[in-house]
Chain A
Amino acid sequence: MNSADMTAPGITGPTILRTEGLTRVYPSGEEQVTALRPLTHIFPVGLTAVVGPSGSGKSTLLNLLAGFDTPSGGRVLAGDTDLSHLSEAQRADFRLAHYGFVFQNHNLVSILTAQENVEFPLTLAGVSPRERRNRAYALLAEVGLERRAGHLPHQLSGGEAQRVALARALVNNPSIVLADEPTGNLDSHTGERVLDLLTAPAAQGRTTILITHDRDVAARANHVLHVRDGLVSAEG
Chain B
Amino acid sequence: MKPIDLWLLAWRGLTRRPVRTLLTTLGITVAVASMVIFLSLGEGIRKVFTDQMSGIGPDIQVSLSGLSQGISVQPNVPESLVDDLQKLAPTLNIQSVTPVYMSLRGSLDPSQNTILYGIPAATGIQAIFPNIRAAQGRVLSPGDEQQPVAVVGAKAADNMHLTLGSKLNLNRRESVKVVGVLADDSGLVDNMIFLPLKTIQRAEAAQGRLSMVAVKLNDAHEARSVADTISKRLNVEAQTQGDFLSFLDKTMKISDAVRFGISLISLIVGGLAVANTVMMGVFERTREFGTLRAMGARPAFVQALVLSESLLLSLVGGVGGVVLGLVGIWGVNAYTRNLADIDAAALTPRLVLLALGISLLLGLLSGLLPARHASRMAVTEALGRV
Interface centre among B15, B294, B299 (most CB of A within 10 A): B294
Chain B residues closer than 8 Å to A68, beta-carbon distance: 294, 378-380, 383, 385
Chain B residues closer than 8 Å to A126, beta-carbon distance: 1-2
B297 contacts the other chain (Cβ, under 8 Å)? yes
- B312 CB to nearest chain A CB (Å): 14
How many interface residues does chain B have, given as a range?
20 to 34
- Asked if A124 contacts B296 (CB within 8 A), the reply is yes
- Asked if A92 contacts B380 (CB within 8 A), the reply is no
- Asked if B295 contacts A111 (CB within 8 A), the reply is no
- B386 CB to nearest chain A CB (Å): 8
- A173 CB to nearest chain B CB (Å): 13
Give the docked Cα–Cα distance between A107 and B292 (Å): 9
- Asked if A88 contacts B299 (CB within 8 A), the reply is yes
- Asked if A63 contacts B297 (CB within 8 A), the reply is no
Chain B residues closer than 8 Å to A180, beta-carbon distance: 385
Chain B residues closer than 8 Å to A62, beta-carbon distance: 385
How many interface residues does chain A have, given as a range?
20 to 34
Give the docked Cα–Cα distance between A30 and B9 (Å): 44
B12 contacts the other chain (Cβ, under 8 Å)? yes
With A59-B385, A68-B385, A111-B16 in contact, do A121 and B295 touch (Cβ < 8 Å)?
yes
- Asked if A110 contacts B288 (CB within 8 A), the reply is yes
Partner of A120, one of B2, B293, B295, B380: B295
Give the docked Cα–Cα distance between A93 and B16 (Å): 28
Chain A residues closer than 8 Å to B294, beta-carbon distance: 66, 68, 95, 101, 103
- Asked if A103 contacts B380 (CB within 8 A), the reply is no
- Asked if A93 contacts B300 (CB within 8 A), the reply is no
Which residues in chain B, 1-44, are within 8 Å of chain A measured between CB atoms?
Answer: 1-2, 5, 9, 12-13, 15-16
B298 contacts the other chain (Cβ, under 8 Å)? yes
| Chain B residue with the shortest CB-CB distance to A6 | B296
Partner of B5, one of A69, A93, A123: A123
B287 contacts the other chain (Cβ, under 8 Å)? yes
Q: List 24 A-B contacts (CB under 8 A).
A: A59-B385, A63-B380, A63-B385, A66-B294, A68-B379, A68-B380, A69-B380, A88-B298, A89-B299, A92-B296, A92-B297, A92-B301, A96-B296, A97-B296, A107-B288, A109-B288, A110-B16, A111-B12, A111-B13, A111-B16, A123-B1, A126-B1, A126-B2, A180-B385
Name A residues whose Cβ lies closer than 8 Å to a Cβ of B: 59, 62-63, 66, 68-69, 88-89, 92-97, 99, 101, 103, 107, 109-112, 120-121, 123-126, 168, 180
